[in-house]
Amino acid sequence: MNHARISSFCRNKNIKNEFGRTFRRWIHVGEKIHDFSVIDKRKIPELELEYIRLQHDATKADMIHLSRNDPNNVFSIGFHTPADNDKGIPHILEHTTLCGSKKYPVRDPFFKMLNRSLANFMNAFTASDFTFYPFATVNPTDYKNLRDVYLDATLFPKLRKLDFLQEGWRFEHSNVKDKSTPIIYNGVVFNEMKGQVSDSSYVFYMLFQQRLFQGTAYGCNSGGDPVAIPDLTYEELVNFHKTHYHPSNAKIFSYGSFPLKENLAALSETFSHFSPKTINKPEMYLADFESEKRVTEYGPADPVMPPDQQAKFSVSFLANDTADIYETFALKLLSRLCLDGFSSPMYQALIESGLGSEFSPNSGYDSTTKRGVFSVGIEGAANDALPLLEEKVYSVFEKLAKNGFKREKLDAILHQMEISLKHKSAHFGMGLAQSVPFYWFNGVDPADYLSWNKQIEWFKNENKDGRLFQKLIQKYVFENKSRFVFSMYPSADFSTNYQKKEAQKLQEHVSSLSADKIKEIEQVSADLLEKQSTLEDTSCLPTLSVSDISKTTEKTELDSVKMDNVPIQWYKLSPGLTYLRVLFPLKDFPEHLLPYLSVYCDACLSLGTFDENIAELEQHIRRYTGGINISPSLVTDPKDLYKAGLHLYVSGYCLDENVEKMTDLIKKVFYGTNLDNREKLAIMLKTSISGVTDGIAERGHAFARLSSASSLTDKARMSEQLNGLSQVKVLSELNKAKDLDQLVSYLKEIQHIMKETRDVKVAVNAASSQQEVVKKSLKNLLPSPSADPAVGKQQDTKKFEPSSTQVYHELPFQTNFASSSYVGVPYTHEDGAALQILSSLLTHKYLHGEIREKGGAYGAGLSYGGVDGILSFFTYRDADPSRSLGIFTEASEWAATHLFSESDLDEAKLSVFQGIDAPQSESQKGVLQFLDGVTDDMLQHRRERLLDVTAEDVSRVAKQYLVNGKISSSTILGPKMSIQPAGWEISTLSS
């Protein structure tokens, strides 16, 4: 058959085969499409995609397209942006490019597009050596709109000086309207990075990388050191953009089912304005050391950890050039074998032995830099633990170099890889978009990185004699002079000293300012405030319309299967994987046991049983499942906000043929955990508290919301006890306890309750052919129905009484987090939709401008939990939380009197439906109905109400639930204050 004739015939046409599937015109290597040349094309069957690599003929811009039958399409453009100092120029540029461009000259088009789109993901990221801008959407028009905005923002930004001052850093009076107040530093990135300095894990990793990679671009802080950020000038920012944001320095990623040709046409048009450019790239590869290096630093102290158990240490070995994707794959496997899980040799030698509470943040093999680094370290260690750490690390490697690993450990890891390929999430494409650049920018061919089967085939061939790992250990540990030993000790004065450094620098800057310069600063502050307060014409920005939102909810077809009076909700999948979920109701659960329920769940997967230790048990879990989870679950009745249900939620998934093994394993850990294993229990508690303060520093707004909502409903109260600062205090006290007898007694009470629990519910997502094996397995797992009518019977409980509170949580942070919460309505209430629209309007139309732009906080908003029924204002990394609390009140009053326009409402509806209509993986179908009792009919009614919300509805609910709300509570998380605020309760993690 004449291939040329077929190609000619297919050109610009679609041809359907006998099954009606549309074939795209064939693309071949060497073909030119819209000024791009196809330089590689191959199928990657394990990921069910076709890989196409292209190069722009004129500028040499590099692009890959991953064609896959997935409606959730992804686009990203990225640039190689290595820094040569700690001023944070790549990070601040990432923010500033999104503040207006040639085609879209409005202030902050990126944030304005958040509510003019149905994108399920929009963001931008700064890594150590590159910056990239990804989004994902299922709507073709939306895709084109966002692609155009992203391309114009990155390649033709306005880069106005006022935007640099807003996003980066600026001088201003602490009260910009009062010139008698002191001059301070402010700025979004400045405050963001001050928040990072409160995270000891971040400080450890950043100092480790800077000291290890000194002399290369990785040795600089691309995000910015708050002490160095005020040295960055506007001119430096503009010049960095000219140097780095160019198609010749760009990598473009696209994924999904939308046509490639249209993407190439848009890119070609954009790139036609550029000439080829030679980009000078700094040294990225770290050369070998002549001898071992040792570095010591100091970082933040943790208020919940014992003062003498907070040191962090690591021993690191320079490894391969990560462009060697095959050796990189082998080193990743070696890392998992050495460090991953209870049975790993390093865990047993370093954590189980009590030397440290957890692995250090840099532990494992890091392939995200040009030269890979293999590190083993600990945190939560005594100050004198380093010599013993080194001794144990080398001792473990010596044994491994001699004896290797047991085959079943490698099989378990390979099984996890196999099952992860079958387990496709709804955001699979975005996951690839976020992982590929780390390798792509370091010279790895993306196709090689994505071709897992080839890597596994190479590994099996290289490991025929079973000695590949021994050879790698010999090469990179014992024959390697390029070793780096890093230590970070806690300093109780770290935060104070950091504040002093900032204050000293500020004083030096301010003292050098002339009277004219101060007047200029004051004028710039006034100009910025005026700009931030001016309403703009945003008509130049593309937008979807409410008509693009489907008027009907996609039905989830669920079957009901009965098994001995146990209801089973069944969602049909194609054969391959079986997903199992079980809800155990905890009716009338004893109040004194509630703080220990999360501990019990962790214990089930940490202590082992009477027949198997946890290392053996975990090995079986990894060999036969994709994971087992046990956690508390709280449910609010969709029709009654004050009716809350507490459950224990058990879930797991596996290959279809392993269902019986999975349920056997669940039964062992759920009913047979050896709670008398105090040694393992102590290790578990020590690990659970390790780094918890860092978690609060990273997600402080979530903890603030939990705290402020906890006095409003019973579910919120229980949620805070199980997941909030109250739980952190419980863990802290348990770690200080002289013995664990009382805790063991509580855990046994919970275990007894679980064995007596009936009325369970089950949900299964699997092929219909799995029904019989699932039923058989469940009969072995679930308790038999009780003949005693008292078992599981709902008892009368004390009614929860809402109250208003004000709590200030003192934490060793550089910035603050604030929240104020109000009571809303149940999910089925008619006002729920209007409250949901209100939350979007206040976030985008008021709070963003007042708190982020003017106040310099990294983030702010109003969240509304549709099922939980709680309205929560919040700020993230906020320099002035007291001001923000006042703005929360002002925002409520503004919304109650402001008449929102039709376009305002349309934007809010688009914003809300981003979450509602976000793609959902097949494994998650039916979960909302199963866990929260929200039916398709309820979802459809809420959709109709959301689409019908009017401006009058929004103003009415703002007045009723916010302005006139009888009960509300506020919380601040922040550094210790010299003066206690009137009417506020002061709380610390040690009290």
By annotation, the residues acting in catalysis are: 94, 167
Report how far residue 404's alpha carbon sits from residue 399's, in angstroms, rounded to the nearest whole number. Answer: 7
Report how far residue 370's alpha carbon sits from residue 980's, in angstroms, rounded to the nearest whole number. Answer: 50
**Helix (H) or strand (E) segment spanning residue 734:** helix 725-736
CA distances from residue 431 to 72, 510, 564, 744 in whole angstroms, order as listed: 12, 46, 41, 41
Q: Are 641 and 434 in contact (CB under 8 A)?
A: no
The stretches of 58-123 forming alpha helices (DSSP H) are 89-97, 109-113
Structure-block tokens of residue 441: 């920018």
Q: Are 869 and 712 in contact (CB under 8 A)?
A: no
Q: Are 818 and 493 in contact (CB under 8 A)?
A: no
Structure-block tokens of residue 416: 């996890």
Amino acid at 37: S
Report how far residue 78's alpha carbon sits from residue 65's, in angstroms, rounded to the nearest whole number. Answer: 14
DSSP letter string, 711-722: TT-HHHHHHHHH
Closest CA to 427 of 308, 207, 256: 256
Map residue 608 onto helix, strand or coil.
Answer: coil
Report how far residue 858's alpha carbon sits from residue 223's, in angstroms, rounded to the nearest whole number. Answer: 14
**Helix (H) or strand (E) segment spanning residue 380:** strand 371-381
Beta strands 985-988 and 806-810, pairing class:
parallel
What is the rounded radius of gyration, in angstroms, for the C-alpha atoms of the chain?
29
Q: Are 479 and 287 in contact (CB under 8 A)?
A: no
**Helix (H) or strand (E) segment spanning residue 641:** strand 640-655
Report how far residue 544's alpha carbon sits from residue 140's, in angstroms, rounded to the nearest whole number. Answer: 10
Map residue 566 onto helix, strand or coil.
Answer: strand
Q: Are 504 and 78 in contact (CB under 8 A)?
A: no
Closest CA to 79 of 92, 61, 53, 95: 61
Report how far residue 99's alpha carbon sits from residue 536's, in angstroms, rounded to the nearest whole number. Answer: 13
The residues pairing with 376 across neighbouring beta strands, listed in sequence order, are 315
The residues pairing with 373 across neighbouring beta strands, listed in sequence order, are 318, 366
CA distances from residue 228 to 158, 278, 817, 891 in whole angstroms, order as listed: 25, 29, 24, 35
